[in-house]
Every structure is written in C-alpha cells, then in structure tokens.
Amino acid sequence: MGMTMTQKILAAHAGLESVTAGQLIEAKLDLVLGNDITAPVAIHEMDKIKQEGVFDKDKIALVMDHFVPNKDIKSAQNTKYVREFAEKHDITHYYDVGEMGIEHALLPELGLTVAGDVIIGADSHTCTYGALGAFSTGVGSTDMAAGMATGKAWFKVPSAIKFDLTGTPAKWISGKDIILHIIGLIGVDGALYQSMEFTGEGIQHLSMDDRFTIANMAIEAGAKNGIFPVDEQAITYMKEHSGRDFELYEADEDAEYERVISIDLSTLRPTISFPHLPENTKTVDELADIPIQQAVIGSCTNGRIEDLRIAAEILRGQKVAKGVRCIVIPATQKIYLKAMEEGYIKDFIEAGAIVSTPTCGPCLGGYMGILADGERCVSTTNRNFVGRMGHISSEIYLASPAIAAASAIAGKLIGPSEWGGVSE
C-alpha cells in the first residue's frame, strides 16, 4: 500500500523506507517552536533534567507574541526567562519587541519553514506550515523540551482524510470560509489525530494566505496536521522568503485514506461559526439580527496582508458603527509596514478602528480586546470556546476579514455585500 504525503515526510525523517498509520516512530526535527507562554514551561523541564545545551541553536525558534509587549509583571517575567535562555544558548531565532510577530505568520515570512520539514511547536496552531508542504504539529511543552534537547520527537503515524477541492471560489469566499465550511461538515473531532490532506484543481485558486488559514485551523477539526501539495505558487513563496533547500513529497496514487471528501468551492457561501464551537456554522443567508460590540481582524489565522487588504476595501470611506470596537492587528512588523505603505492603516483609522502592534492579544483572552459580561465579538481568530476572549457569558463569532469588517460597519453580523458598499 502506498503512503500519503504526511507519511512520506515522516518516513524520511525516521530513516525508514515506509511507514503505516498507527506506527510509532522517532523522527528528526527541522524546527522546534515555542512562545512566551509555552517556552517557559519547556525551559523549566530542561532545567529539571539538568540539560546543559540544545541540539541545534539554529533549529529552535522562540517567538514572544502572546502577551508581548508585556501586559503585566507575570508576562514580563516569563519573557525575561525565555530571553535569558536564548542568550545563554545563543539561540539564532529569538524574536522580541521590534522584530517579533505572531509566530505562525512570522516563521514562514522569515523562511524558517519549507516543504518537507518536520516541525513541532508548543502551540496548537503549529499545523499552519502544512500550507508549504511541511509536516507540522502542535505538542505540549514537555515534548518541546525533549525536542530542544535531542532534535527528535516520537510520533504515531496518522491516517488521513483526503479533501478534493474543485471549482473557483466566488468573490469574498476566502480560506476562512472554506475551513469553517469543512469544520461545520465534519465536526471538531471529525479528523481526530488524522492528517487533513488537501488536493484537487481548486487549490490553484487559493492564495498562500488562504492556504495558511486553512492549514492553521486543521487542529479545530481535531487533526494532527493539515497539508497541501507543493505547486508553483508555494515554490515561488519559498524562493522569495527562504534560502533553505526544500524537498517535495507527493502522495502515492494508491495511498490509503480513511475517507475522501469532495468540495466544490464555487458553491460555498460566506460562513460564520456561532458560539461555542467552530463546528457550529451558518452561512450569511441564515443570519438573524445579532448585534455585536466588538470586531477583531488579525491573529495567526487572518492577520496577513491579504486579510488586511480585504478589510480595508470594505472599511474604506465607511464608519465603524457607534458602540462597536473594531481592532485590527497586523500579524508581523513587515505586514504592518506594507499595510502602511498601501494606505490600509489610514483606511482603518479614518473608519474608526484602532490598529495594534503585532500580538496574539485578544485571541486567547490575553489583552487588547477582552470581552465583558454578555458582549458579542465577530472575530477572524480560530476558537470561540466559552470564555475564550473574556467573560464566560460573552460570545465569539468566527468569520472572515470581509464579514468582520462589514459587521463592524453595520453593528451586527452581516455579509460582506449586504451593507451596500460592495457587490458580490
């Protein structure tokens, strides 16, 4: 029996000719990632086992992004702890205020993630790098510690679901709408510990930013990872951002999949996940009159330049509704600068939004947009669990940048064409 794309990458990194679903393997790592919340725990574990060094100072990335710039004494202490560790071990890829960004947008931008890599990160959305044809997955801080120490990790080889994407998405249908549609279709445990492998001619119509968004939220369907084939668009992206060599892997024709799901992208409608699970999806055609108090445009899911461009197109010349707080967060300094150069920051501010330095901030209820009792937020982030952004009675509606921007103007959940300024 042939292997899937993920299985081929894992076999190569385990030094094996082939692997099968369910097999336990030890694989070499190309990158180990941690942030200001998870890295301190991993470093503490290394201290406990009296580990003196790291396996490779060039293959560890420490990105201070969740509570940075520090919001309180505890976050400042955590960042200091990681900063001192990075200095002690001469970690090449340590990113703090001034050069940091949201980790899953920053690392591909810096060229640290390429096709064929095996990457672990002590953050569940590490699966983002599958957009470039890498096997990347989130792990706990203890596994991160072991990875930093040894350069290896144990994996159970996942089985796979094949998603055959066809057709051309309509205007305003983005990667966020596609992945929300998929999660609504299969559920938050529909791909539990499986690889979500995306194929089909429809992929050619998806930008790299769309693919990053889709791979980012594979974990929200319970998947071990999400992965895309490496086409010319992905190769161009890697050549523009990275000087590293990369390896291309393709699934065998006789690869075994648990199931195959076909999705015609041309039939999709703008989609929103209602509280309190990403699987609770509705299209804009099913919306009732639901007022909002906050809109967030940003995060590792939707803080890239294409996301800001879409939001600016809708907000330009309009005004955020009275009583609505619209918060825009570029995912990296480079994205922030490009948004300034292209005039989007001016569009946001003139519309009555605020623009933050890169940070995860409100996504995990950290800061820069905490919700009070009973408040509703439409957000381009990736999770809408109870209390995720603040008070346990608050509500989060996950959506694309287009829907978030249009809803900020309307003061209620609304589709990107309904407020009158943009046609479908």
Convert the pLDDT of each residue in 84-124 to its tens digit.
999 999 999 999 999 989 999 999 999 999 999 999 999 99
d(CA 307, CA 316): 14
Give the CA-trace dihedral at 203, 204, 210, 212, to 10 degrees.
Answer: 70
d(CA 261, CA 191): 12
pLDDT band at 418 (very low <50, low <70, confident <90, very high): low
Is the bond preceding residue 276 a cis peptide, omega within 30 degrees?
A: yes
Convert the pLDDT of each residue in 261-310 to its tens digit.
999 999 999 999 999 999 999 999 888 889 999 999 999 999 999 999 99
If you average pLDDT over residues 32-50, what whole number do you get?
92
Using the predicted structure, report yes or no on whether residue 424 has a pLDDT greater than 70: no
Q: Which amino acid is at 332?
A: T
**All domains of the chain in start order, with CATH:** 5-264 (3.30.499.10), 272-410 (3.30.499.10)
376 three-state secondary structure: strand
Using the predicted structure, report yes or no on whether residue 149 has a pLDDT greater than 90: yes
pLDDT band at 51 (very low <50, low <70, confident <90, very high): confident
Residue 113 contacts residue 80 (beta carbons within 8 Å): no
- Whether the CA torsion 354, 359, 360, 362 is positive or negative: it is negative
- The strand pairing partners of 27, in sequence order, are 153
pLDDT band at 421 (very low <50, low <70, confident <90, very high): very low
In order, the DSSP letters of 110-149 are: TT---TT-EEEESSGGGGGGGGGT-EEEE--HHHHHHHHH
Quick one: which of 337, 286, 342 has its CA closest to 311?
342
- Residue 128 φ then ψ, to 5°: -55, -35
d(CA 270, CA 206): 15
Convert the pLDDT of each residue in 79-92 to its tens digit.
999 999 999 999 99
pLDDT at 310: 95
d(CA 271, CA 398): 9
Output the average pLDDT for the chain.
94
Query: What would you report as the CA-atom Rg of the chain, rounded to the nearest whole angstrom?
Result: 21
Convert the pLDDT of each residue in 368-400 to its tens digit.
999 999 999 999 999 999 899 999 999 999 999
Through-space distance between the first and last CA atoms of the chain, rounded to whole angstroms = 45
Convert the pLDDT of each residue in 340-372 to its tens digit.
999 999 999 999 999 999 999 999 999 999 999
Q: Which amino acid is at 46?
A: M
Quick one: which of 316, 383, 304, 382 has its CA closest to 353?
316
If you average pLDDT over residues 119-136, what whole number do you get?
97
Using the predicted structure, report yes or no on whether residue 194 has a pLDDT greater than 80: yes
If you average pLDDT over residues 65-72, what whole number do you get?
94
d(CA 376, CA 305): 26
Quick one: which of 297, 134, 306 has its CA closest to 209?
306
- The DSSP code for 194 is E
Q: Which amino acid is at 424?
A: E
Percent of the chain residues topping a pLDDT of 70: 98
Environment class of 77 (CB within 10 Å of its CB; exposed 0-12, middle 13-18, buried 19+): exposed
| Edge-to-edge strand list for the sheet holding 294-297 | 281-283, 271-273, 395-398, 376-379, 294-297, 325-328, 354-355
